[in-house]
């Protein structure tokens, strides 16, 4: 391994350490366990992507592949760097690079960043700290063992003298990178394990923070895109003569899109309206007259595809986990249960609508974009423009929420097409209405559930999943023998020891852009499985905690569920889940008496090595649901920034509650029926229950919390409704069946 | 196109634009103040909240013509140096996640404390109910408004 020496600029800058012993730290504990993100797992030995530079003033810059969107990964990178380098927080800054061969795999998702940052960055940082110590040892002519580090300085144990990292950087850069620099012991941590506020808070509360929509480039124009209202629709002709009356309107330009199956994204056909300000572009868009060829999807409607999914749920399906004999267990049972569950499409609706600034000429393309799938975007730009990587520069902006939406890069590719067409810098803005109508949605589903109870025990559990597959739509090569592992894995990891199991999948590819929704399929399958467990436990006359714990009692060895080849496996530790359930039972007041109309519901889930259980307390009085309290117990392994973990779980709970109560995107005549927050409602502040989060001390490695908070909450809510009023909610959203206060 | 004059964050401002242009877009584009955020465009989400003569208004549905001769305050002018008690409380309780809605939340909260320096928890919830957040920072927003109010009370007494 070689350090890249930028001596001219007095920089210590270490780059790729691929193949070196240092990388062991990256490989260990970082085995990809699948999850929501669409990228394949990082190979065990890849180039380390968090680069570090230290200038002569001691300013430390982390070049970071993970993107900040509210989940705290920028602050976490600073904390890990401050810890392992023994530096001060205020000497550290973090930037995102433009994706390239050197900075590859830039994608943030799957609740994976904390684990990645902690495991991948630390060995690298430890080596740098060691080199700084060695440089000081040479300067002082003392053994390295007498050079300790403290708050950005190396300290000489003999005489107490100190020298700052900046002063040592140039000499350190000339040293070989040590292969064996020891990692700091967790017991010696002074930064990690304590709560730290986000480093970006001040700019966020003063309005200084620059999101994608706040980017301004010299000579920039503003654009809106009038898109085909139906997937596959095309422009026959258009008339922009009324637009000239809009002050600030510049011109219109037709944009040719791609097909719904096109990789990486579907871009709708449309007409871009260019103006000197955002409002003028929107006004012009309203006046544009377009004659559309609507195409084959103009009859696409909720009733049709939900019927299709219902029929699929009744079929045999492809079995992906089978134990015992479901059919025999059903025949032999005291009670046989069967039910269908369903849920609609859902939108992400982040508060910052899609947008992107782009400049694109024959020879280069530059974009400023709130995006966290930068390599996907790079591939898309290469494909659309024919430019090579060196001619493409992607600036990652602060992101006003994503929840998976911006793993699709359609909006950014649109901006590139518009910029290319007009030959000027342009900011493309999606209105909220467009954000609702042209989103990349979470799949709808229907699931047929079966189960049996005999002698007070649950003896059978059957689940036939019918849904639309993100992969089948656009990346069918990712399917293995017809199985979509992103669909099946969240169900396959069912942790309960039910003797007779049959889990099967029936997928289709509905003609709608689809994406990952705060994990997507886990929010579906964990909801259905945990509601179904509640039904089975009720039928068996058991207690929701006791009976789950009973089914988790055989906990000697972790269960081992394989992904497709090359994707590793998920280990499910029943002991950890039991511990989380016991903790929650102790904290939530499960045994407290209830008044009429009060209900409590339990659900739990496992995602990407994070174990979480939640109890929802609510009331249903005169058909009106009112949320009261949510209690969570979480084992996410070693906790790095506790307050941020709490915030992510709180946020996940509220996100999941919005989905459970209101989340529904429906189609009629090929068009989305919802248009804004009036008909795609979010939970409001007053509706939000009190939320308590209890973190368990855990010996396990770091695991993520961005998504898991949203996973059990839908089932816990439905189970609480049943407890309160005896009504089973099997079809979401809840507000379609109950009033919500 | 007409010319409109108003006070913006304490300074005189004039702007040539169509009178029906929403103040939000006038602030963000020609005037370059991007702290006020676009979220829904129909006055539902509250991210664009500014103060017009001290009253919280949704600038995405407030025509520039309605601001003529009046005083407009945006998040950039909530305090000279980011030290309004609400801004401090927001940081103390680590409220922001993505942060995109927070300028609107803060401006809306500031209008409450200006009218009612000692709001009850219920009054805070009632008032703050009309600004949306997708990340789920509501529990901390409630606490931060109460904390700011308590600190302002402390300063007064």
In the structure, what pLDDT confidence band is assigned to residue B1 with cuts at 50, 70 and 90? confident
Note whether residue A83 is domain-resident.
yes
Predicted pLDDT of residue A2: 35
How high is the mean pLDDT of chain A?
92
Predicted pLDDT of residue A562: 93
Chain B residues touching residue A349 (CB < 8 angstroms):
134
Question: Radius of gyration (Cα) for chain B, nearest Å?
Answer: 15
Residue A502 in this model has a pLDDT that exceeds 60: yes
List, for residues A511-555, the tens digit of each pLDDT value. Answer: 999 999 998 999 999 999 999 999 999 999 999 999 999 999 999
Predicted pLDDT of residue A53: 85
* Residue A590 near chain B (CB below 8 Å): no
Distance from CA of B125 to the nearest CA of A (A): 5
Q: With a threshold of 0.85, tell me whether the complex ipTM lies above it.
A: yes
Both B54 and B14 in one domain: the answer is yes
List, for residues A335-393, the tens digit of each pLDDT value. Answer: 999 999 999 999 999 999 999 999 999 999 999 999 999 999 999 999 999 999 999 99
Both B64 and B98 in one domain: the answer is no
Asked which of A377, A397, A429 is the last residue of a domain, the reply is A429
Predicted pLDDT of residue A179: 80
Q: What is the percent of chain A with per-residue pLDDT over 70, rounded to a whole number?
A: 93
Both A529 and A671 in one domain: the answer is yes
List, for residues A376-392, the tens digit of each pLDDT value. Answer: 999 999 999 999 999 99
**B-contacting residues in A 334-353 (Cβ below 8 Å):** 349-353
In the structure, what pLDDT confidence band is assigned to residue A503 with cuts at 50, 70 and 90? very high
In the structure, what pLDDT confidence band is assigned to residue A328 with cuts at 50, 70 and 90? very high
Both B68 and B25 in one domain: the answer is yes
The token pair at A324 is 């015992």
Predicted pLDDT of residue A176: 85
Mark yes or no for CB contact A655/B134 under 8 Å: yes
* Residue B10 near chain A (CB below 8 Å): no
Q: Rounded mean pLDDT of A438-447?
A: 97
CATH number of the domain enclosing A129: 3.30.365.10
Both A223 and A160 in one domain: the answer is no
Looking at per-residue pLDDT, the higher value among A25 and B95 belongs to: B95
Q: Which residue segment(s) compose the domain that B95 sits in?
A: 85-156
In the structure, what pLDDT confidence band is assigned to residue A102 with cuts at 50, 70 and 90? confident
Mark yes or no for CB contact A647/B18 under 8 Å: no
Residue A49 in this model has a pLDDT that exceeds 50: no
Mark yes or no for CB contact A399/B131 under 8 Å: no
**B-contacting residues in A 274-293 (Cβ below 8 Å):** 276-279, 282
Chain B residues touching residue A682 (CB < 8 angstroms):
132, 134
Instruction: Evaluate whether A130 touches A178 at the Cβ level (below 8 Å).
Output: yes
Both B99 and B58 in one domain: the answer is no
Closest residue in A to B36 (Cα–Cα) = A207
* Residue B58 near chain A (CB below 8 Å): no
Distance from CA of A239 to the nearest CA of B (A): 24
Contacts for A370 with CB less than 8 Å, ≥ 6 apart: A69, A211, A212, A213, A352, A355, A356, A396, A397, A398, A399, A400, A402, A406
Note whether residue A1 is domain-resident.
no
Predicted pLDDT of residue A25: 24
* Residue A208 near chain B (CB below 8 Å): yes
Note whether residue A692 is domain-resident.
yes
CATH number of the domain enclosing B119: 1.10.150.120
Predicted pLDDT of residue A22: 24
Both B63 and B92 in one domain: the answer is no
Both A406 and A503 in one domain: the answer is no
Name the nearest CA neighbour of A372 among A352, A387, A391.
A352
List, for residues A588-627, the tens digit of each pLDDT value. Answer: 999 999 999 999 999 999 999 999 999 999 999 999 999 9
* Residue A222 near chain B (CB below 8 Å): yes
Both B91 and B149 in one domain: the answer is yes
**In this complex, which of B45, B91, B132 lies closest to A201 when CB atoms are compared?**
B91
Instruction: Evaluate whether A528 touches A463 at the Cβ level (below 8 Å).
Output: yes
Name the nearest CA neighbour of A563 among A105, A33, A31.
A33
* Residue B37 near chain A (CB below 8 Å): yes
In the structure, what pLDDT confidence band is assigned to residue A42 with cuts at 50, 70 and 90? very low
Q: Rounded mean pLDDT of A471-488?
A: 95
In the structure, what pLDDT confidence band is assigned to residue A154 with cuts at 50, 70 and 90? very high
Distance from CA of A391 to the nearest CA of B (A): 29
Mark yes or no for CB contact B99/A684 under 8 Å: no
**In this complex, which of B18, B45, B142 lies closest to A685 when CB atoms are compared?**
B142
Both B61 and B107 in one domain: the answer is no
In the structure, what pLDDT confidence band is assigned to residue B88 with cuts at 50, 70 and 90? very high
Both A100 and A164 in one domain: the answer is yes
Chain A residues touching residue B97 (CB < 8 angstroms):
70-72, 401, 647-648, 651
Asked which of B77, B102, B133 is the last residue of a domain, the reply is B77
Residue A29 in this model has a pLDDT that exceeds 70: no
Both B53 and B89 in one domain: the answer is no
Both B60 and B96 in one domain: the answer is no
- Give the residue from A650, A654, A685 with the most B CB atoms within 10 Å of its CB, the best one to mutate: A685
Q: Which residue segment(s) compose the domain that A403 sits in?
A: 212-296+354-429
Q: Rounded mean pLDDT of A407-434?
A: 98
Mark yes or no for CB contact A401/B100 under 8 Å: yes
Mark yes or no for CB contact B1/A247 under 8 Å: yes
Q: What is the percent of chain A with per-residue pLDDT over 90, rounded to a whole number?
A: 87
Residue A481 in this model has a pLDDT that exceeds 50: yes
DSSP state of A217: -
Instruction: Round to whole Å and give the CA distance between A10 and A25.
Output: 28
Instruction: Evaluate whether A165 touches A153 at the Cβ level (below 8 Å).
Output: yes
For residue A305, count other CB atoms closer than 10 A to its CB. Answer: 20
Mark yes or no for CB contact A70/B97 under 8 Å: yes
Contacts for A244 with CB less than 8 Å, ≥ 6 apart: none
**In this complex, which of B76, B94, B126 lies closest to A201 when CB atoms are compared?**
B94
Mark yes or no for CB contact A691/B139 under 8 Å: yes
Q: How many domains does chain A have?
A: 3
Q: Where are the alpha helices (DSSP H) in A410-543?
A: 410-422, 432-437, 470-474, 485-492, 521-540
Predicted pLDDT of residue A146: 97
Mark yes or no for CB contact B29/A277 under 8 Å: yes
**In this complex, which of B22, B91, B141 lies closest to A197 when CB atoms are compared?**
B91
Q: How many domains does chain B have?
A: 2
Instruction: Round to whole Å and give the CA distance between A483 and A652.
Output: 28
Both A410 and A531 in one domain: the answer is no
Mark yes or no for CB contact A432/B41 under 8 Å: yes
Determine if the peptide bond prior to A344 is cis (ω within 30°).
Answer: no
Asked which of B17, B48, B77 is the last residue of a domain, the reply is B77
**A-contacting residues in B 129-148 (Cβ below 8 Å):** 129-142
Instruction: Evaluate whether A228 touches A235 at the Cβ level (below 8 Å).
Output: yes
Host H or E run for residue B55: strand B55-58
Note whether residue A436 is domain-resident.
no
Distance from CA of A282 to the nearest CA of B (A): 11
Note whether residue A380 is domain-resident.
yes
Predicted pLDDT of residue A175: 87
Both A263 and A333 in one domain: the answer is no
Find the helix packing angle between A521-540 and A642-662, rounded to 10°. 80
How high is the mean pLDDT of chain B?
97
In the structure, what pLDDT confidence band is assigned to residue A420 with cuts at 50, 70 and 90? very high
Instruction: Evaluate whether A228 touches A269 at the Cβ level (below 8 Å).
Output: yes
Residue B153 has phi, psi (to 5 degrees) of -60, -45
Predicted pLDDT of residue A16: 31
Asked which of B25, B47, B77 is the last residue of a domain, the reply is B77
List, for residues A197-239, the tens digit of each pLDDT value. Answer: 999 999 999 999 999 999 999 999 999 999 999 999 999 999 9
**B-contacting residues in A 428-447 (Cβ below 8 Å):** 429, 431-433
**In this complex, which of A195, A202, A210 lies closest to B82 when CB atoms are compared?**
A202
Residue B50 in this model has a pLDDT that exceeds 90: yes
CATH number of the domain enclosing A257: 3.90.1170.50
Mark yes or no for CB contact A643/B94 under 8 Å: yes
Predicted pLDDT of residue A19: 25
Both B51 and B97 in one domain: the answer is no
Predicted pLDDT of residue A48: 31
Q: Rounded mean pLDDT of B88-111?
A: 98
Note whether residue A434 is domain-resident.
no
Residue A9 in this model has a pLDDT that exceeds 80: no
Q: Rounded mean pLDDT of A115-121?
A: 91
Note whether residue A435 is domain-resident.
no
The token pair at A175 is 């040293």
Predicted pLDDT of residue A34: 33
């Amino acid at each position: 391994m070689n350090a890249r020496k930028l001596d001219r600029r007095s920089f210590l800058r270490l780059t790729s350490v691929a193949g070196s012993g240092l990388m062991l730290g990256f490989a260990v504990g970082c085995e990809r366990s699948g999850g929501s993100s669409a990228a394949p797992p990082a190979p065990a030995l890849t180039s380390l992507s968090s680069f570090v530079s230290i200038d002569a003033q001691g300013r430390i810059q982390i070049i970071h592949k993970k993107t900040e969107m509210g989940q705290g990964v920028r602050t976490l990178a600073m904390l890990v760097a401050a810890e392992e380098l023994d530096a001060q927080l205020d000497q550290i800054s973090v930037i995102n690079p433009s994706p390239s061969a050197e900075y590859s795999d830039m994608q943030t998702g799957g609740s994976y960043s904390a684990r990645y940052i902690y495991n991948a960055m630390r060995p690298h940082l430890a080596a740098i700290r060691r080199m700084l110590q060695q440089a000081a040892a040479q300067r002082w002519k003392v053994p390295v063992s007498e050079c300790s580090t403290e708050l950005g300085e190396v300290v000489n144990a003999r005489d107490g003298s100190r020298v700052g990292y900046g002063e040592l950087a140039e000499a350190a850069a000339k040293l070989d990178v040590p292969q064996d620099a020891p990692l700091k012991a967790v017991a010696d941590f002074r930064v990690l394990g304590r709560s730290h506020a986000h480093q970006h808070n001040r700019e966020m509360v003063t309005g200084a923070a620059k999101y994608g929509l706040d980017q301004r480039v010299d000579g920039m124009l503003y654009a809106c895109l009038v898109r085909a209202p139906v997937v596959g629709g095309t422009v026959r002709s258009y008339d922009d003569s009324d637009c000239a009356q809009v002050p600030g309107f510049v011109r219109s330009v037709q944009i040719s899109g791609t097909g719904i199956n096109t990789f990486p994204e579907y871009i709708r056909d449309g007409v871009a309206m260019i103006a000197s300000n955002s409002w003028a572009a929107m006004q012009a868009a309203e006046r544009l007259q377009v004659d559309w060829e609507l195409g084959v999807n103009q009859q696409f409607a909720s009733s049709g595809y939900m019927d299709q999914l219902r029929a699929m749920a009744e079929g045999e399906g492809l079995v992906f986990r089978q134990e015992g004999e479901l059919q025999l267990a059903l025949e032999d049972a005291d009670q046989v249960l069967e039910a269908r569950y369903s849920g609609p499409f859902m939108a992400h609706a982040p508060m910052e609508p899609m947008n992107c600034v782009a400049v694109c000429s024959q020879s280069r393309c530059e974009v400023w974009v709130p995006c966290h799938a930068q390599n996907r975007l790079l591939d898309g730009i290469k494909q659309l423009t024919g430019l090579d990587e060196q001619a493409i520069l992607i600036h990652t902006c602060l992101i006003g929420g994503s929840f998976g939406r911006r793993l699709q890069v359609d909006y950014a590719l649109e901006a590139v097409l518009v910029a290319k067409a007009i030959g000027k810098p342009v900011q493309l803005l999606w209105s909220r209405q467009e954000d609702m109508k042209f989103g990349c949605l979470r799949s709808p589903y229907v699931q047929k559930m079966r189960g049996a109870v005999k002698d007070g025990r649950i003896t059978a559990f059957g689940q036939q999943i019918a849904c639309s597959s993100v992969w089948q739509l656009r990346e069918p090569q990712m399917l293995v023998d017809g199985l979509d592992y992103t669909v099946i894995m969240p169900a396959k990891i069912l942790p309960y020891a039910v003797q007779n199991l049959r889990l099967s999948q029936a997928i289709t590819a509905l003609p709608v852009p689809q994406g990952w929704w705060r994990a997507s399929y886990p929010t579906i399958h964990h909801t259905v499985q945990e509601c179904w467990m509640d039904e089975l436990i009720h039928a068996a006359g058991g207690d929701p905690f006791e009976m789950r714990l009973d089914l988790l009692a055989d906990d000697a060895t972790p269960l081992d569920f394989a992904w497709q080849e090359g994707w590793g496996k998920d280990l499910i530790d029943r002991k950890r889940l039991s511990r989380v359930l016991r903790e929650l039972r102790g904290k939530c007041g499960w045994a407290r008496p209830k008044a009429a109309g009060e209900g409590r519901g339990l659900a739990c889930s496992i995602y990407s090595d994070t174990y979480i259980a939640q109890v929802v307390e609510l009331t249903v009085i005169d058909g009106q649901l009112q949320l009261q309290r949510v209690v969570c117990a979480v084992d996410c392994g070693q906790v790095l920034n506790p307050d941020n973990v709490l915030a992510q779980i709180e946020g996940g709970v509220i996100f999941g509650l919005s989905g459970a109560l209101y989340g529904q995107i429906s189609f009629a005549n090929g068009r989305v029926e919802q248009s804004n927050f009036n008909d795609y409602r979010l939970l409001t502040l007053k509706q939000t229950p009190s939320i308590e989060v209890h973190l368990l001390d855990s010996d396990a490695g770091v695991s993520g919390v961005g998504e898991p908070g949203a996973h059990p909450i839908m089932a816990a809510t439905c189970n609480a409704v049943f407890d309160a009023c005896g009504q089973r909610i099997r079809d979401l959203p809840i507000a379609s069946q109950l009033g919500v206060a | 196109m007409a010319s409109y004059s108003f006070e913006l964050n304490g300074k005189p401002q004039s702007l040539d634009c169509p009178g029906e242009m929403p103040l939000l877009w006038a602030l963000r584009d020609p005037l370059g103040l991007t702290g006020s955020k676009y979220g829904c465009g129909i006055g539902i989400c509250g991210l664009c909240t500014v103060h017009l003569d001290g009253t919280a208004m949704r600038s995405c549905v407030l025509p520039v013509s309605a601001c003529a001769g009046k005083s407009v305050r945006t998040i950039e002018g909530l305090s000279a140096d980011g030290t309004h008690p609400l801004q401090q409380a927001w940081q103390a309780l680590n409220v922001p996640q993505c942060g995109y809605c927070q300028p609107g939340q803060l401006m809306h909260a500031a209008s409450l404390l200006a009218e009612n320096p000692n709001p009850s928890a219920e009054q805070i919830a009632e008032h703050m109910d009309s600004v949306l957040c997708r990340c789920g920072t509501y529990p901390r927003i409630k606490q931060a408004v109460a904390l700011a109010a308590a600190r302002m009370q402390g300063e007064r007494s």
